[in-house]
């Protein structure tokens, strides 16, 4: 494919922040009048030496008294950990790993929630040349055993004794596994104790053997469409990713005020997004805390006590925060004021976006006054629920959409939305500071190239892209790129200013019996944001029209029933509520306005159970396992397509004409 450059730009533009040039303008290439490739040069030169293992020790040398971490005690208090203290803990555990006989290149698997020990083990393992292998703590015994077998892990650290016990019967199938340690039994501390006879120099020698090309971790994909693949990521991959992200996202990593920047980390450390953020915080010396639970009754106290300035999150959580806030306002008789405040925030956020883009003058006096009026009534309450100091959010996993992004922007929280894969060590695109484009996933991360193939597939290139997939049976790594470009399997387009817009997954595209191609993601994302809906899966491949499986948000539905004077009923009886069906139908009708008539949802079925990770319907990153869902609920799908005049199951509905 031959690409031609447009006449402008002739040079990369720059935007200044506090007098420091921040390069953000991408270089755009076009083909047949459409933007087909966008790139941004790296802000940081590629690493030619060193590794992640140096970061704790560099921090201890440069700023030993800086608080780089906070550790939550059993009584809920947060105790700060200095750079010097963390480096000492890393050194002690690293010595213990040597004392236990682990050699450079050995794989150390970690199966735990987002806890302090995860980050400690990562850096201790890297300090002695080990390769860490994350395993989701929610993984089944079969999934965990398969990853341990495939990676050839020599050691495993679990968070709980129950996790270790569950794997006990599988140990005879794991001949490479020589050690198993349990965090809750104090084994990490015991590791540190058993390495006291090992000298610092032995760790230093191992660190000195590492380079940017050394393998750092093997991260297994979630496996939505088949058996997980092990993404082999190097120290150089991580450094290219985090160094450029830190330079780009200056408000997050270099606070605009004297207020200390702090991140409360609650996304899974087993996911590349979580690992990348943890490394970036250590690299930038941004104080980070670990929150192991996403349950609101446990997370909210952590937020209140830790008081982060930035959150790393996914759209699903932002949707829930918004819906809960509106439900509380409705319960207190303030829903009209809440809805007016939402409208003000969205208009404010959009006006601010237009000012940054040079297409508008920004919020006017009346809009500023309205925002000031609603701030203590609505916006501050939402910020207070997240600790009171949150000013930034980094959001990924799926598109957030303009409705929510404009609201949070108007409510005083800047959102940096991004897109990336395990294969790209996290983000490949991100919203650039001072140049938001809501509804997009931003520009290429510095050092990244984005190309749109002829069939709409997104291709990525850069130093953060993996070198290959782990395959012990092929003698090492299987190449992952062709001519330096990674085929993502995602579909999207680049607009005239180089912003990337995601439209769906290539493998998830549906083709109806009439030959119409349908991307399910836009419809699913819109409907999932509804306060009464938990999950949605659009169906219709080789079918006469598009349908959808819908599950209910029980908390949202219970609130809706109370506000409408309906008595509480068991969950299974909710499917008989015709008023509820009518509300869902209106939501479907609204979603259908996003697409053409052949792409619209004609019928939907409300399932009697939610789609959950525990039941095997979702990956740990909340993605739908479509084949599993389609097989389990095949009878519901068949009934939707039973033909004209059929009587649906409870909860199935027919879309009214527009």
| pLDDT number for residue 295 | 80
Query: DSSP states of 43-110 as a string?
Result: SSPPPSS--GGGHHHHHHHH-TTSEEEEEE-TTS-EEEEEHHHHHHHHHHHHHHHHHTT--TT-EEEE
State the pTM of this model: 0.85
Residue 529 lies in a domain: yes
pLDDT tens-place string over residues 12-35: 344 444 544 455 689 999 988 899
Query: DSSP states of 629-644 as a string?
Result: HHHHTHHHHHHHTS-T
What is the SS3 assignment for 490? strand
Backbone angles phi, psi at 5, to 5 degrees: -85, 145
| Helix (H) / strand (E) containing 203 | helix 200-208
pLDDT grade, residue 650 (50/70/90)?
Answer: very low
How many structural domains compose the chain?
2
15-24, 292-301, 515-524, 648-657: which has the minimum mean pLDDT?
648-657
Averaged pLDDT, 600-626: 88
Of 75, 147, 63, 158, which Cα lies nearest the Cα of 110? 158
| pLDDT number for residue 646 | 29
Residue 89 lies in a domain: yes
pLDDT grade, residue 644 (50/70/90)?
Answer: very low
Residue 538 lies in a domain: yes
Residue 317 lies in a domain: no
pLDDT tens-place string over residues 163-200: 999 999 999 999 999 999 999 999 999 999 999 999 99
| pLDDT number for residue 22 | 53
Averaged pLDDT, 562-583: 84
Question: Which range of residues forms the domain containing residue 599?
Answer: 509-654
With vertex at residue 103, the alpha carbon angle to CA 102 and CA 105, rounded to the nearest 5 degrees, is: 115
Residue 425 lies in a domain: no
> Which of the listed residues 290, 308, 333 is the one where a domain comes to its end?
290
pLDDT tens-place string over residues 350-379: 999 999 888 999 999 999 999 999 999 999
CA distance linking residue 357 with residue 415, whole number of Å: 16
Q: Which tokens sit at 624?
A: 């739908």
Q: Which tokens sit at 406?
A: 């404009």
Residue 371 lies in a domain: no
Give the number of other CB atoms < 10 A from CB of residue 495.
15
Residue 369 lies in a domain: no
CA distance linking residue 465 with residue 352, whole number of Å: 34
pLDDT tens-place string over residues 37-53: 999 999 989 999 999 99
Query: DSSP states of 17-49 as a string?
Result: ETTEEEE-PPEEEEETTEEEEEEE--SSPPPSS
Backbone angles phi, psi at 180, to 5 degrees: -140, 120
Give the CATH number of the domain where residue 604 resides.
3.30.300.30
pLDDT grade, residue 643 (50/70/90)?
Answer: low
pLDDT grade, residue 580 (50/70/90)?
Answer: very high
> Which of the listed residues 271, 290, 309 is the one where a domain comes to its end?
290
CA distance linking residue 332 with residue 320, whole number of Å: 18
| pLDDT number for residue 631 | 92
CA distance linking residue 22 with residue 274, whole number of Å: 26
Backbone angles phi, psi at 469, to 5 degrees: -100, 140
| pLDDT number for residue 653 | 38
* The pLDDT of residue 447 is above 90: yes
Residue 494 lies in a domain: no
| Helix (H) / strand (E) containing 217 | strand 215-220
For the chain, percent of residues with pLDDT exceeding 70: 92
Angle, helix 116-127 to helix 187-194, in steps of 10 degrees: 30
| pLDDT number for residue 37 | 97
* The pLDDT of residue 651 is above 60: no
Give the CATH number of the domain where residue 172 resides.
3.40.50.12780
pLDDT tens-place string over residues 535-547: 999 999 888 899 9
């Amino acid at each position: 494919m031959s690409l031609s450059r447009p006449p402008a730009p002739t040079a990369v533009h720059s935007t200044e922040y506090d007098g420091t040039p921040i390069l953000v303008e991408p270089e755009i290439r076009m083909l047949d009048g459409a933007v087909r490739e966008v790139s941004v040069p790296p802000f940081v030169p590629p690493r030619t030496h060193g590794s992640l293992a140096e970061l704790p020790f560099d921090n201890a040398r440069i700023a030993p008294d800086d608080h780089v971490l906070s550790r939550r005690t059993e009584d809920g208090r947060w105790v700060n950990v200095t750079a010097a203290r963390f480096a000492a803990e890393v050194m002690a555990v690293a010595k213990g790993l040597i004392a236990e006989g682990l050699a450079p290149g050995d794989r150390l698997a970690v199966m735990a929630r987002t806890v302090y020990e995860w980050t400690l083990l990562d850096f201790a393992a890297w300090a002695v040349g080990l390769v860490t292998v994350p395993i989701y703590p929610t993984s089944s015994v079969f999934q965990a055993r398969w990853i341990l077998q495939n990676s050839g892990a020599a050691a495993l650290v679990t968070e709980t004794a129950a996790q270790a016990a569950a794997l006990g019967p599988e140990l005879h199938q794991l001949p490479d596994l020589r050690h198993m340690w349990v965090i809750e039994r104090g084994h990490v501390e015991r590791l540190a104790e058993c390495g006291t006879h090992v000298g610092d120099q032995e760790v230093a020698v191992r660190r000195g053997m590492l380079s940017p090309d050394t393998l750092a971790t093997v991260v297994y994909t979630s496996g939505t469409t088949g058996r997980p693949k092990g993404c082999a990521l190097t120290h150089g991959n991580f450094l290219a990713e985090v160094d450029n992200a830190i330079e780009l996202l200056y408000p997050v990593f270099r606070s605009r005020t004297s207020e200390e920047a702090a991140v409360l980390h609650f996304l899974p450390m087993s996911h590349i997004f979580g690992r990348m953020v943890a490394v970036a915080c250590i690299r930038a010396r941004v104080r980070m805390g670990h929150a192991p639970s996403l349950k609101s009754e446990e997370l909210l106290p952590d937020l209140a006590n830790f008081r982060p300035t930035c959150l790393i999150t996914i759209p699903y959580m932002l949707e829930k925060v918004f819906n809960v806030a509106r439900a509380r306002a409705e319960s207190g008789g303030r829903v009209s004021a809440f809805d007016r405040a939402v409208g003000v925030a969205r208009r404010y956020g959009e006006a601010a976006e237009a000012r940054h883009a040079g297409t508008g003058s920004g919020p006017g006096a009346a809009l500023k006054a309205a925002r000031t009026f609603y701030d203590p009534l609505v916006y501050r309450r939402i910020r207070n629920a997240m600790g009171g100091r949150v000013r930034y959010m980094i959001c990924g996993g799926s598109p957030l959409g303009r409705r929510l992004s404009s609201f949070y922007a108007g409510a005083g929280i800047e959102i940096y939305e991004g897109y990336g894969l395990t294969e790209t060590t996290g983000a490949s695109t991100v919203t650039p500071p001072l140049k938001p484009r809501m509804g997009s996933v931003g520009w290429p991360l510095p050092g990244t190239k984005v190309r749109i193939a002829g069939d709409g597939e997104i291709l990525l290139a850069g130093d953060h892209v993996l070198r290959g997939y782990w395959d012990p049976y092929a003698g090492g790594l299987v190449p992952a790129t062709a001519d330096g470009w990674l085929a993502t399997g995602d579909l999207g387009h680049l607009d005239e200013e180089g912003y990337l817009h995601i439209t769906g997954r290539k493998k998830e595209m549906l083709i109806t019996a009439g030959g119409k191609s349908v991307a399910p993601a836009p419809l699913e994302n819109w409907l999932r944001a509804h306060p009464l809906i938990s999950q949605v899966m659009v169906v219709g491949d080789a079918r006469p029209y598009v349908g959808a499986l819908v599950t209910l948000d029980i908390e949202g539905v219970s609130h809706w029933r109370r506000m409408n004077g309906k008595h509480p009923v068991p969950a299974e009886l909710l499917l008989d509520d015709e008023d509820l069906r009518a509300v869902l139908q209106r939501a479907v009708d609204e979603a259908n306005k996003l697409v053409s008539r052949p792409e619209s949802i004609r019928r939907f079925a409300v399932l009697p159970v939610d789609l959950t990770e525990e039941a095997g319907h979702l990956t740990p990153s909340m993605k739908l396992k479509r084949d599993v869902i389609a097989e389990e609920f095949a009878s519901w799908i068949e009934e939707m397509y039973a033909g004209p005049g059929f009587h649906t199951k409870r909860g199935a509905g027919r879309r009214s004409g527009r």
